[in-house]
A and B are shown apart, each in its own frame.
Chain A
């Protein structure tokens, strides 16, 4: 997110405090002196990881401190994994399979590649899943395992060592 704050001592700390207080993880802080809109205002870009449901509350708390949120970044899912599913994917409601991940709010299917050799033969698909954190990815994979069991898919997960 991009923040606008007063260029006076203690303001940056005041901006970052609520983020860590709410359990967010501050990944980087970038000062942008050249783009400041006025003499006494400073523009700062911070990259953070925070559960999406806490984001609105954070913005309120920043505003209470006189800090203006200029922009919220789109790339909130930073963790990426690729899985392969084999089975009758299309005839078992492909939309539902994807939705089970998407509706978590913490993970999304962001790419899909399908190979359908012939009618009535099993489809193979690659799903790219993005999530907020590694833990969320584990939860998303857990959901996918349950879907695979229910719909009789073979789920091939990546090996991470």
Chain B
């Protein structure tokens, strides 16, 4: 059985997914695609090469009379793949699209943190009611399959606590400040030049991005009802190079660490002094997570937390997992 995808968002991640579907023989076809200004639909499967060429040449993927809303409501698809940019405060219009698709009885896979951080319980209930899947592996730690692992592979374990480096931009800046004795501003400028930081880096350096990931983890893994306001957040933007040198004197460094201890209601993201040889001290833009469990003990995950192919990897993983569940009659 061929699974039909409708794709919202044709940025770097979207193009990564289109390439994978076109080249990898995954048993998937894409029946509808929308970018911010246009859309295209073909119930038999779009010609993906033509679509990518069009996007590259004229900047839009299809017909300007077709928009994302029309695709969500009317196009034929089994899974809505929602990969538009995150709006962390309102989660729109992504949340509306996701709700509409779930109500139609379609599965949803998203990389968009806004809807999951703000409306997880509502969306989960809606998916359950309509007997479909709602997946969002790409929202936390990019390529690292942390959500599915904690929810399924470690089922039966009590997850007692989680500590993690969840923002590659901050980790890159801190790595460079420590290794090359750069000032915060120099390291940030370098991260911008290399594309690790946005032109407006506030969302990353003030810790908002990583804090949203803690919210998603708290609400999905531990079924809490936590919002961004419940997380004790301190970013890295006020760190000094002297602080890193003081840490160095004790053979330690400073990393931005997210911490969840559900039993004590601890949801905290702040710079911490950490021994250099600690497993959470990863280099550059990597992410790392340690979870403490009652049966499996401590587990360490390290990998790329951002990047178009890495995010596409997580999204495709969710899509194929849904395909396999459907094939198994679930």
Contact = CB atoms under 8 A, between A and B. Distances in A.
A90 to B, nearest CB: 14
B9 interface: no
Interface residues of B, number: 27
A59 B234 CA distance: 47
B21 interface: no
Contact of B249 (A86, A117, A126): A126
Contacts, number: 65
Contacts of A83: 273
B292 interface: yes
A158 B281 CA distance: 13
B171 to A, nearest CB: 14
Interface string B257-294: 10100000000001111100010100000000010100
A117 B250 contact: no
Contacts of B245: 115
A161 B261 CA distance: 12
Contacts of A154: 234, 238-239, 271
A156 B254 contact: yes
Q: Which interface residue of A117, A154, A157 has the most chain B CB atoms within 10 A?
A: A154
Contacts of A156: 239, 243, 247, 254, 270-273
A124 B242 contact: yes
Contact of A115 (B239, B246, B259): B246
Interface in A138-161: 154, 156-159, 161
A2 interface: no
B91 to A, nearest CB: 30
Q: How large is the interface on A (under 10, 10 to 19, 20 to 34, 35 or more residues)?
A: 10 to 19
A113 interface: yes
Contacts of B243: 84, 86, 124, 156
**Residue of B274, B278, B280, B292 most packed against chain A (CB within 10 A):** B274
A158 B243 CA distance: 13
B104 to A, nearest CB: 45
Contact of B238 (A82, A86, A126): A86
Contacts of A113: 246, 249
Nearest to B280: A159
A126 to B, nearest CB: 4
B163 interface: yes
Contacts of A161: 161, 163, 290, 292
A125 interface: yes
Given A159-B257, A159-B274, A84 B234 contact: no
B125 interface: no
B240 interface: yes
A83 B274 CA distance: 11
A122 interface: yes
A3 to B, nearest CB: 37
A126 B247 CA distance: 8
A79 to B, nearest CB: 16
Contacts of A122: 238, 240
A83 B290 CA distance: 22
Interface string A87-98: 000000000000
Contacts of A84: 243, 246-247, 254, 273
Nearest to B237: A154
Contacts of B246: 84, 113, 115, 124-126
19 contacts: A82-B250, A82-B252, A82-B273, A84-B246, A115-B242, A115-B246, A117-B242, A124-B243, A126-B246, A126-B249, A126-B250, A154-B238, A156-B270, A156-B271, A158-B272, A158-B273, A159-B163, A159-B255, A159-B273
Given A156-B239, A156-B270, 8 more contacts: A115-B246, A126-B250, A154-B238, A156-B254, A157-B273, A158-B273, A161-B163, A161-B292
Interface of A: 82-84, 86, 113, 115, 117, 122, 124-126, 154, 156-159, 161
